[in-house]
Amino acid sequence: MRLFLLLATVGGSSVAQSNVVPVFAVGGVTPDLPLVLTVLVALRRGPEVGCIVGFVAGCLQDVAGGGLIGVQALTKALAGFAMGLLVGRLWVASPLVQVPGLVMLTVAEGLARFLLLQFFHFPVSLGGLLAHVVLPQALYNGFVGAACVLIAEAAEVARRRRWV
């Protein structure tokens, strides 16, 4: 049941990324819901699950978005694995760790995607990419991630109260 729920959530975030999120674009910048989901799952379940969720979400995003197949899958899988490694090292239950971690990981994932696309001679400058895509998306992901963390915490508190 948990695996089905996780796969449905990953698929839902990918569908929402391609169909719903463009409506909420601010200045042409949209949040990366599959990355937000990957980070939050990796922080709760560890590096292996984070890597798998990132890979599946990235594959679905690659297929829906066009372009080079596998770029999003590789970078999101690495991001999920890297964020999952923090579980034993930092107090990741705190939103003060989760949200800045999401923002920094968004920047790192954008840079990794840029470096990967440079192998295929993708015509974009690093400064332009950082200023117009990566940094605004990192801030947007931070706001969306903060909202998701607050919703998850509220759901956890409500669940605890129901059992008491």
Write down the mean pLDDT value for the chain: 84
Amino acid identity at 64: A
Distance CA 6, CA 24 (A): 24
Rounded CA-CA distance 9/148 in Å is 13
Q: What does the pLDDT average to over 115-122? A: 84
Reported as a single tens digit per residue, the pLDDT across 42-73 is: 888 889 999 999 999 888 888 887 777 888 89
- CATH assignment of the domain containing 150: 1.10.1760.20
pLDDT of 79 reads 92
pTM above 0.85, yes or no: no
How far apart CA 96 and CA 90 sit, in angstroms, is: 11
The terminus-to-terminus CA distance of the chain in angstroms comes to 24
CA 157/CA 151 separation, integer angstroms: 10
pLDDT, mean of residues 2-18: 66
CA dist 73 and 154 (Å) reads 31
Q: What values do phi and psi take at 69, rounded to 5?
A: -75, 130
Question: How confident is the model at residue 4, as a pLDDT?
Answer: 62
The confidence score (pLDDT) of residue 9 equals 66
The closest alpha carbon to 2, from 56, 39, 41, belongs to: 41
Domain of 96, in residue numbers: 2-163
Interval 133-160: pLDDT, tens = 899 999 999 999 999 888 888 888 898 8
CB-based contact 83:110 (threshold 8 Å): no
Instruction: Report whether pLDDT(95) > 80.
Output: no
Task: Compute how many other C-beta atoms are within 10 angstroms of the C-beta atom of residue 97.
Answer: 14
| Tally of structural domains, the chain | 1
Element (H, E) at 127: helix 126-129
What number is the average pLDDT over the span 69-91? 86
pLDDT at site 1: 47
Contact 82, 105 (CB under 8 A): yes
